[in-house]
């Protein structure tokens, strides 16, 4: 369990871990002042101490239970295992800030950890990393109408997945830096309790707990308004495994790069994917390739051109899940069960 403690972003307490007794074992905590993360593990300690996290992980590798003793007059700490004894220099535990206290009046819900982890996996590829768009560097949790929605956007692409839940609250913006710690907690839990109060999100599993300092954001894009209806589609590809379609796009983009763009054309029972890279100019295409494959589908009309990497980002996390993908004049939409993803059109000269 010690190895699962996440490495948080740099700060005054970088590479520090607080170790203290919790009544039936040890509680280990790390923080960057915006995220507080703790786990409970078997072991014993006589007095709290703060140690280097990297050193503790190295010493504790393969050890199931820690036996720790701190000198009463110093922070010199001895860690024992079955056949080893290590002495580490520690520091004052009082220098470690206190985590926020759970709020009695917090909005609460319980979800299956595996379900939330899956929803994050299918959407997190579109967390914006552009520092000039700070409000988009997030994973959004929205709890309403018996479900929890997980959403991300880069302004040109949007993704949404949802899982069963309860309760209602405003959009919660989880910073991109908090996504990995949250995933770590979910991987080591079965059910999680999620609470929101005073701009703080608390996620508690069986042996892990994390607090995230957040903010509510009322101007988040409305998916229901932005995603077009299937009846408006020019081209429709129905019930195809997501991994089959993503491989089809990748095959057509063999000569391409990160800037490759793709176009779908329905030909009877076959679909042609044509891709080009370099300048978006079909009169003088660069690295233009095409690939055909027979697929059961519907529709007769060509679509616009779309960034290959955006479509693949929408499809890959879905694996073998059956998807429907359709195109309007300026958008491509991928749907599967509760998942919805949208990518905006690319304008191409000569298309």
Tell me if 260 is assigned to some domain: yes
Q: What b-and-e string marks burial along 146-175, b requiring 16 or more CB atoms within 10 Å of the CB?
A: eebbbbbbbeebbbbbbbebeeebbbbbbb
Q: How far apart are CA 194 and CA 214, in angstroms?
A: 14
Q: Which two three-digit tokens encode residue 217?
A: 């954001």
Strand partners, 334: 325, 341
Q: Are residues 196 and 89 in the same domain?
A: no
**DSSP result, 279-302:** SSBTTS-EEEEEEEEE---EE---
Q: Are residues 238 and 305 in the same domain?
A: yes
Tell me if 102 is assigned to some domain: no
* pLDDT per residue as tens digits for the range 296-325: 554 455 566 677 778 888 888 899 998 888
| Residue 279 confidence (pLDDT) above 70 | no
Tell me if 304 is assigned to some domain: yes
Q: How far apart are CA 120 and CA 149, in angstroms?
A: 10
Which of 32, 64, 95 is the last residue before a domain boundary? 95
Tell me if 351 is assigned to some domain: no
Q: Cα-flanking dihedrals φ and ψ of residue 179, to 5°?
A: -65, -45
Please say whether the beta carbons of 36 and 29 come within 8 A.
yes
Q: What is the pLDDT of residue 57?
A: 86
Tell me if 12 is assigned to some domain: yes
Q: What is the pLDDT of residue 301?
A: 55
Q: Are residues 79 and 125 in the same domain?
A: no
End-to-end alpha carbon distance in the chain:
55
* pLDDT per residue as tens digits for the range 15-68: 899 999 988 899 999 998 889 999 998 889 999 999 998 888 888 777 767 889
What one-character DSSP code corresponds to residue 9? P
Q: Are residues 172 and 281 in the same domain?
A: no
Please say whether the beta carbons of 334 and 325 come within 8 A.
yes
Tell me if 259 is assigned to some domain: yes
Q: Are residues 235 and 332 in the same domain?
A: yes
Confidence band of 259 (pLDDT split at 50, 70, 90): low
Q: Which two three-digit tokens encode residue 143?
A: 């709890």
Tell me if 100 is assigned to some domain: no
Q: Cα-flanking dihedrals φ and ψ of residue 63, to 5°?
A: -95, 130
Confidence band of 176 (pLDDT split at 50, 70, 90): confident
Q: Are residues 127 and 26 in the same domain?
A: no
* pLDDT per residue as tens digits for the range 61-111: 777 678 899 998 899 999 887 778 889 999 999 999 998 888 888 888 899
Q: Are residues 170 and 263 in the same domain?
A: no
Q: How far apart are CA 344 and CA 221, in angstroms?
A: 14
Q: Are residues 239 and 280 in the same domain?
A: yes
Q: 232: domain range?
A: 227-344
* Residue 271 Cα to chain centre, angstroms: 32
**Structurally, how many domains does the chain consist of?**
3
Q: What is the pLDDT of residue 219?
A: 65
Confidence band of 209 (pLDDT split at 50, 70, 90): very high
Domain with residue 48: its CATH number is 3.10.150.10
Strands 215-216, 172-175: pairing kind: antiparallel
| Residue 288 confidence (pLDDT) above 80 | no
Mean pLDDT of 252-261: 63
Q: Are residues 207 and 273 in the same domain?
A: no
Q: In the sheet that 49-52 helps form, which strands lie side by side, from edge to edge?
A: 49-52, 16-21, 26-31, 35-41, 208-213, 200-204, 191-197, 107-112
């Amino acid at each position: 369990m010690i190895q699962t403690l996440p490495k948080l972003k740099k700060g005054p307490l970088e590479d520090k871990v607080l170790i203290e007794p919790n009544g039936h074992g040890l509680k280990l905590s790390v923080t960057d002042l915006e995220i507080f993360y703790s786990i409970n593990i078997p072991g014993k300690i006589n007095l709290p101490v703060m140690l280097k996290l990297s050193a503790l992980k190295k010493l504790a590798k393969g050890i199931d239970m820690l036996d720790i003793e701190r000198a009463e007059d110093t922070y010199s700490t001895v860690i024992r295992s079955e056949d080893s004894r290590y002495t580490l220099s520690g520091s004052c535990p009082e220098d470690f800030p206190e985590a926020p206290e759970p709020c009695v009046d917090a909005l609460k819900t319980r979800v299956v950890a595996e379900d939330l982890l899956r929803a994050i996996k299918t959407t997190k590829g579109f967390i914006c990393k552009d520092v000039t768009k700070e409000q988009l560097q997030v994973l959004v949790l929205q709890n309403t109408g018996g479900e929890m929605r997980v959403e991300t956007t880069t302004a040109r692409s949007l993704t949404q997945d949802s899982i069963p839940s309860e309760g209602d609250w405003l959009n919660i913006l989880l910073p991109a830096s908090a996504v990995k710690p949250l995933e770590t907690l979910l991987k080591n839990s079965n059910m999680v309790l999620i609470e929101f109060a005073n701009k703080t999100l608390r996620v508690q599993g069986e042996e892990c707990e994390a607090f995230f300092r957040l903010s509510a954001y009322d101007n988040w894009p409305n998916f229901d308004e932005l995603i077009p209806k299937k009846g408006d589609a020019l081209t429709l590809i129905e019930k195809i495994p997501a991994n089959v379609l993503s491989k089809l796009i990748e095959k057509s983009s063999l000569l391409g790069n990160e800037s490759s763009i793709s176009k779908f054309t329905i030909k009877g029972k076959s679909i042609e994917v044509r891709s080009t890279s370099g300048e978006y100019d079909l009169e003088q295409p660069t690295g233009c390739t095409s690939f055909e494959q027979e697929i059961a589908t519907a529709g007769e009309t060509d679509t616009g051109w779309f960034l290959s990497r955006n479509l693949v980002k929408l499809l890959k996390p879905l694996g073998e899940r059956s998807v429907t993908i359709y195109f309007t004049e300026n958008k491509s939409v991928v749907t599967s069960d509760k998942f919805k993803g949208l990518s905006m059109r690319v304008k191409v000269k000569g298309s």
